[in-house]
Each structure stands twice: as C-alpha cells, then as structure tokens.
Structure 1
Amino acid sequence: MSVKPAEGTRSRDPEARKRKLIDAAIVSIGEIGYNDVTVDTISETAGISRGLIGHYFKGKDQLLLEAVKTVAAEIGASTRKAVSAAGEDAVARLYATARASFGKPAFTEAHACVWAALAGNAGWSPELTQLYHELWTGYREALARLFERAAQTRGIALDARLAALTFTHLIEGLWVGWVADSTEISRQRAESACLTYLDAIFKQP
C-alpha cells in the first residue's frame, strides 16, 4: 500500500515529502506492526528513496514520535469537534468524548496500531516516555475539569481526577485491546463500554 502526497503539494516539496514519510510510517505500523517496520519498509511504502529519510528523521524511533504526534493531533481535532457540537452541558460533552474516541474519521485501525506501539514501547525510550506523559497529562486535566463540572451540575460527589484517569485508560485499554483482539473488542463494544462507565456515574436511580 502506498501513500500519496497530500493534494495540492509537489513531490519535491520538503514538507510534503516529510508528511509522506509520516503517513507511510502510520500505514506500515498498521499493516505489519511496529517491531517489523524498518526504514526500508517505510521508504517503500512512501515511494521515497531510503537515503532521503535521513534528511528528515534520525531513524525509526523518531518516525514513530512524529507518527504518534500526527495521530494524536488528528484524534484530538476530531474529539474537540464532537465535544463542541455537544453543546455546553458537561455530561453531554463527556458522552461525546467517548463516542469520538472510537469514531471515524480520526479513529482508524492504523491509528490504533500506532497508539498501541507507543504504549508498548514508551517504557524503554525516554523520548517516547516524555511524549506519552505530555499527551495524556493535558488530556486527563481537561477531562477532570469536565467530570468536575458534570458532577456539580448533577449534585454528585465525585473524585474528578480519579474519574478522568479511569476514563482515559479505559479508552486506551480498549484501543490496544482492539488491536490485539478485534474479534472480541469491536469498535461498537468499545464505545459501549465507555458509555456504560459514564452511565454508572451520571445515570443515578
């Protein structure tokens, strides 16, 4: 599978070529897994000479860093759009977050594979550890504020930070689980699990 350059860009445009390599890394990780991805497989997928990769990236780990940043940005943009469309009610925004976490266009098998690669390799790479921490810290803090507002409006006693931590890693665990066993964990069941968690908090008898 080859990755085409973004529409309206020229193949000799350095930024377009860099994005082609990042997209190729995402596709390659999704197709054969991070451990089997090499500079050669990425260059072949991108249709770019292996020698040119060194002009943009030091190696596979740096490409993974950029792939994760790209995936995080795309999922983040999709989630923010869904949350904004849900209105001002904090509970509705949390439900929108759960649905967007497993919805198209941002959430794809390739994106889930990239995130699984990050989670599986972060403990052995200082750069990946730092990126992982930065990505989740800001996300959890935003969710904690939403949980706090939602609990206040519903008159519920809640540890908002703990709820955000649980919700965050429920989502991530289901992403990784979907990659590992898509027969048991479908997109629909994963979304349902997150919605059920929110129901347990906010749909009081």
Structure 2
Amino acid sequence: MQKSEKRARGRPVGSSDQEVKRHEFVVAVMKAIAEHGYKDVTVTTICEAAGFSRGLIGHYFSGKDALLLHAVGEVAKDFELATRTAAEAAGTDPFDRLHAIVSASFRAPVFTPERVLVWVALASTSHWSPDLAEIYRKLNRPYRRGLAHLMQRAGDARGVKINPDRLAITLMQLTEGLWSGWAADPKTISAAEGEAACHELLEAFFPPRKS
C-alpha cells in the first residue's frame, strides 16, 4: 500500500483515528446503557447504537466488558473535568466554588440523560464488580477530599465550625441520590429541583458573610 493510501483527509491513519472511533463506541455504550441497563447491554445493542458491524469492536477493545469499563471510566473523567473547570471559573472564594460544583453537577455536559443513567448504573453495580468499584473509588475519594478542603476553607472564612469530611459525604450522597431519583422518575425530581436542594444544603451550613 502506498503512503498516500494510508492517509485520510491529509493526515496519517493512526492513534487519532482510533481515539475518534473509540469515542464513538463510548457514545454508543452510553446510549445502550440508557436504553437497556448495564447488565443487559450486549455487543449487538452497542453496535446497533453505533451503526457499526459486530466485528469492529474487536479492533479497538478486547471484548464487551473492556468496552463497558472504558465507557464508564470516560464518564467519570468527564465529570471530574467539568466540575473542576467550573470551580476554577468561579474565582477564589471557596463558597462560590462549592456552588459552582453543584451547578455543574446538574447541568450539561455532566447532567444528560445518558450520563446520569451510566453513573447510576456504575453506583448500583459496583458492589458486584471489582473493576467498576475501582472506577467509582478513583473518582469519589479525590472528589470527596477536594470538597472537604473547600468546605473547611469556607467554614474558616465565615467563622463556622463544621465537620468537612462528613459534609462532603452528605453533599455527594445527596447529589447521587437525586440523580438516582431523577433516573427513576424525572417528573417528580427535576434537575433544577435537585440543584436547588444542593445549593440549599450549602447555604444551611454556611451563612452569608457578616457585613
């Protein structure tokens, strides 16, 4: 094969092309999980969602489990990136950063039907899957430490004594519980109501600064 035949639209066929294809599979997995549930996703449902042939998965992943784990891991990384970016954009005040993280948790690109359902599947299935549990731990533990650090700083700035570790867990579990509630019945728990509930939790523990 000539070198010119190895190029696609002016660039060499290589890792970048593979990453594009892998991303397309991740999107397909999220769609398949949202439609069928984590346990009932099959190679066939993934390929139907992606519009690819069944044999193509083998060129990029060792099997269905590897593809599912990769997709869930990507969702976890995207959540971490989006919340961190939101916090940094909020400025230096730790209280503002906490509110920014809450807002990011209930808005796109974090809060979309597919991503929420993938996360709910991750949380509900981790107990029976060591690989999923490891993904869950790798995101949750640093995230909890980051929240606790911001909460301690916010408490110090406002002269409020709190247990930052416990409050961080409370906010995390409230967020996750509201996500699960939305997944079960979006007509009862909306994203806006979930976000408002988390903002109110922060405001209950951190009163406004004294003028």
> What is the TM-score of this pair, normalised by structure 2?
0.86
CA distance in 2, matches of 1:192, 1:61: 37
Match status 1:14 vs 2:13? no
Instruction: Tell me what 1:177 maps to.
Output: 181
1:123-178 CA-to-partner distances (Å, cap 9, x unmatched) read: 11111111111110010011110001001001011111111111111111111111
Aligned residues: 198
After superposition, residues 110-189 of structure 1 pair within 5 angstroms as 110-189=114-193
Instruction: Tell me what 1:53 maps to.
Output: 57
Instruction: Tell me what 1:5 maps to.
Output: none
Instruction: Tell me what 1:42 maps to.
Output: 46
Larger displacement relative to structure 2 (63-72 or 162-171): 63-72
Contact 1:10 1:16 in 2 (8 A): no
Contact 1:24 1:42 in 2 (8 A): yes
CA distance in 1, matches of 2:11, 2:70: 20
Secondary structure of the 2:188 match is coil
Match of 2:79 among 72, 75, 98: 75
Shift of 1:84: 1.5
Which of 1 and 2 has greater Rg? Answer: 2
Match status 1:199 vs 2:203? yes
CA distance in 2, matches of 1:9, 1:20: 19
Contact 1:22 1:63 in 2 (8 A): yes
Contact 1:79 1:101 in 2 (8 A): yes
CA distance in 1, matches of 2:194, 2:63: 34
Secondary structure of the 1:168 match is helix
1:48-93 CA-to-partner distances (Å, cap 9, x unmatched) read: 2212212333333322221122112222222222211211000111
Contact 1:83 1:97 in 2 (8 A): yes
CA distance in 1, matches of 2:11, 2:191: 33
CA distance in 1, matches of 2:27, 2:13: 14
Match status 1:66 vs 2:101? no
Please, which runs of 5 or more residues in structure 1 have no aligned partner? 1-7
Residues 202 and 10 (structure 1 numbering): CA distance in 2 closer, same or farther, change over 3 Å?
A: farther
Contact 1:11 1:17 in 2 (8 A): no
Secondary structure of the 2:39 match is helix
Shift of 1:15: 2.3
Residues 170 and 10 (structure 1 numbering): CA distance in 2 closer, same or farther, change over 3 Å?
A: farther
CA distance in 2, matches of 1:10, 1:101: 38
Instruction: Tell me what 2:5 maps to.
Output: none
Contact 1:9 1:16 in 2 (8 A): no
Residues 203 and 43 (structure 1 numbering): CA distance in 2 closer, same or farther, change over 3 Å?
A: same
Secondary structure of the 1:35 match is coil
Shift of 1:9: 9.2
Instruction: Tell me what 2:6 maps to.
Output: none
Contact 1:144 1:160 in 2 (8 A): yes
Q: Which amino acid aligns with 2:161?
A: A
CA distance in 2, matches of 1:27, 1:136: 24
Residues 120 and 59 (structure 1 numbering): CA distance in 2 closer, same or farther, change over 3 Å?
A: farther
1:96-131 CA-to-partner distances (Å, cap 9, x unmatched) read: 111110012332010000001101110111111111
Please, which runs of 5 or more residues in structure 2 have no aligned partner? 1-9
Shift of 1:47: 1.8
